[in-house]
Structure 1
Amino acid sequence: MFVLSVLLLITAVVLFVAGRGRTPARNWRLWAWVSAAGGLLAALYACVYVVSAYEVGVPVTFGKIGSPLPSGVHFKSPFTDVTSFSTRPVDLNLNDKETVEVRSSQGGVLYADVTIKWAVVPAKAVALYRLAGSQDAIEQRLVLPDSREIVRNVFARHTSEEGYASARERIGAEIESAVKERLASRGIDVTAVNLRNVKPSEKLQEQIDKKIQQEQATERAVEASRTAKAEAERKRIEAEGTARANEIVARSLTDKVLYNQCLEAYREAARSHPVYAVPCGTGAGGTPVIVDGTKN
């Protein structure tokens, strides 16, 4: 823009000079004034820079870096270039092609999807300009490699099962804390780190499925053993109860008891057989008893 303003001013001077010896000179002077006004406006525009809201500007004049420019209108040298950085949080999504491949403490391979919200600290804009040079360069040279390294290091301290299931929240908190600490020292404010998804590799998934099947088979075997022990214990208790009952009965049976039970039994039988002789007792052949079924 500054070059354009110089050209327009030179053109105005040429028109003034060339219009002196020509008639009518009014048209030449008119175009000379128009060119001069355009040159002045272009020069003014080259000396004004507007930093948008949620941005910070870093001025560079002939290789010398100036102080950061906050949001608003600023006057500068026409030879000064201003690089703007956004102070509004932006998302860095590590998914799809950028998914982070990590290894657990057991060597299992997992794939982690992570979203990192980051923004430039205005007071650190000059230092970031020296490190990277632009907004995209900050993300590619600082935020991305540091975040991927931290994600891998955190997962390496945990088992595969913790990584994809039992300790995901704790791992996410560890990653967020480490990323914030690392990038804060560089002048980058990390507002949030979201561990969205963790997926085992195909080989690890096969190992997980095999482990689950083995655990289920072990549980079934343990349950079968527990059932067999319970059944054996039940039979033992039943046998002991029967033995104790037989022992009690054996102690309570005497000759008179047996003789009375014999009489009762054959009296009951005599109801269908009116009169018959039966042996009862414990002697040789027992004592013959005549049972008359016609009498009570």
Structure 2
Amino acid sequence: MANNGQLQLPKTLIPLIFVGFFVVLFISKSTVTIDAGEAGVLWKRFDGGVVTDEVPLGEGFHIVAPWNEVIVYEVRQQELFEKMKVLSSNGLEIQIDASAWYEPVYNELGHLHQSIGQNYLQRVIQPAIRSAARSVIGRYTPDDLYSTKRDAIQIEIYEETKKILDKQYVQLNEVLVRDVTLPPTIKEAIESKLKQEQSSLEYEFKLVTAAKEAEKVRIEAQGKADANRILSASLTDKILQDKGIEATLELSNSPNSKVIVIGSGKNGMPIILGNQ
């Protein structure tokens, strides 16, 4: 009913509105939805705080007491990109660009949240990879960093970083050294040295090739000389006469006109006269 132009609600409806409001508030505080690639850590206000002895809440819809709280973590693999200035073994400043692939240990999310918190990237991962990079690079010279040792350096940085993070409930999957930047003067000196070494190797290769070719020619010549010497030693007068007779018999069967004088040649060999 209206009174002086104002709408009056029934007295029984007002309590229902309040009850409905608190029911909606209770439901909104008691439900949580965890998206794909995430997990939730449960914090109980009246029962010991962070739950560390249970599996984290997985993806999907969950109902919790309104006085408790769920802290959501991304559990996918994530990437950290770092530009670091470090010193080589001889004290030169080197800049390296590196990436780290990491993810929180799923079943240890409660311990991670309790001991480090959601900003574990800044608290443990970045300091760990920087410390490992300084330690590893400090054992190498700029020549090592510029040439063949880069893969070994990358592996060492990964192993040293992993030792630290394994104790911090973080799983390190990979460390990639993407680039190493040396001071310009050092880079030019190294490149010049590498060119000289390459030229020296090419010259040595040519010398070795020439020596092998000369040895091959010498061996071939020696072989021919030995063959001729053996052949000469085996050709007696009797063998030469027999070869001459064989040749004469073959020529006598030829259709070309000829005159054969038997026994008129040197050593009794026949003389062949005639036209082709």
Query: Per-residue deviation at 1:210?
Result: 6.6
1:109 matched residue in structure 2? 93
Structure with the bigger percentage of helix? 1
Q: Is the 8 A contact 1:51 1:69 kept in 2?
A: no
> What TM-score do the two structures reach when normalised by structure 1?
0.57
Identity across aligned pairs (percent)?
22
Contact 2:105 2:169 in 1 (8 A): yes
| Residue number among 143, 154, 157 corresponding to 2:139 in the alignment | 157
SS at 2:168 equivalent: coil
Q: Does 1:142 align with 2:129?
A: no
Matched ranges for 1:38-117 at <5 A: 38-62=21-45, 64-67=49-52, 68-71=55-58, 72-94=60-82, 99-117=83-101
Aligned ranges for residues 113-262 of structure 1 at < 5 Å? 113-134=97-118, 137-205=119-187, 207-208=189-190, 211=193, 215=196
Are 1:109 and 1:204, in contact at CA under 8 Å, matched by a contact in 2? no
Question: Aligned equivalents of 2:64 and 2:126: distance in 1?
Answer: 34
Q: Secondary structure at the match of 1:196?
A: strand
Code of the residue aligned with 1:122 in structure 2: it is Y
Write the distance in 1 (CA, Å) between the matches of 2:89 and 2:133: 13
Give the C-alpha shift of residue 26 in structure 1.
5.7
Paired amino acid for 1:128: L
Alignment correspondent of 2:210 = none
Q: Which amino acid aligns with 1:51?
A: I
Task: Please report the TM-score for the alignment, with normalisation by the length of structure 2.
Answer: 0.61
Deviations 1:166-225 (A, max 9, x none): 211111122222222321221111122111111102353354367568x58x96xx99xx
Question: Given the superposition, is the C-alpha separation of residues 203 and 141 from structure 1 closer, same or farther in structure 2, using an over 3 Å criterion?
Answer: farther
Q: Offset at 1:118? A: 0.7
Any idea what the Cα deviations from partners look like across 1:32-53, whole Å, max 9, x if unmatched?
4344223212112212222333
* Contact 1:58–1:126 under 8 Å retained in 2: yes
Per-residue CA deviation, residues 33-75 of structure 1 (Å, 9 max, x unaligned), is 3442232121122122223332222222337212453213333
Counterpart of 2:174, as a letter, is A
How far apart in 2 are the matches of 1:205 and 1:28?
87
Query: What runs of 5+ residues in structure 1 fail to find an aligned partner?
Result: 1-22, 227-296
2, 9, 19: which one aligns with 1:36:
19
- How many residue pairs were aligned? 195
Q: 2:155, 2:8 → 1: CA distance?
A: 79
Following TM superposition, the consecutive aligned residue runs of length 4 or more in structure 1 with deviations greater than 4 angstroms are 23-28, 209-213
Residues 201 and 131 of structure 1, relative CA distance in 2, 3 Å threshold: farther
* CA RMSD between the two structures: 3.1
Q: Distance in 2 between matches of 1:187 and 1:209?
A: 43
Deviation, 1:159, is: 1.7
| Rounded Cα–Cα distance in structure 2 between residues aligned with 1:34 and 1:197 | 65
Q: Please list every run of 5 or more consecutive structure 2 residues that lacks an aligned counterpart in the other structure.
A: 1-5, 208-276
One-letter identity of the residue aligned with 1:66: V
Q: Counterparts of 2:103 and 2:188 in 1: how far apart (Å)?
A: 41
Please list the CA deviations of residues 231-253 of structure 1 after superposition, one character each: whole Å capped at 9, or x if unmatched.
xxxxxxxxxxxxxxxxxxxxxxx
The secondary structure found in structure 2 opposite 1:133 is coil
Q: Cα offset for 1:139?
A: 0.4
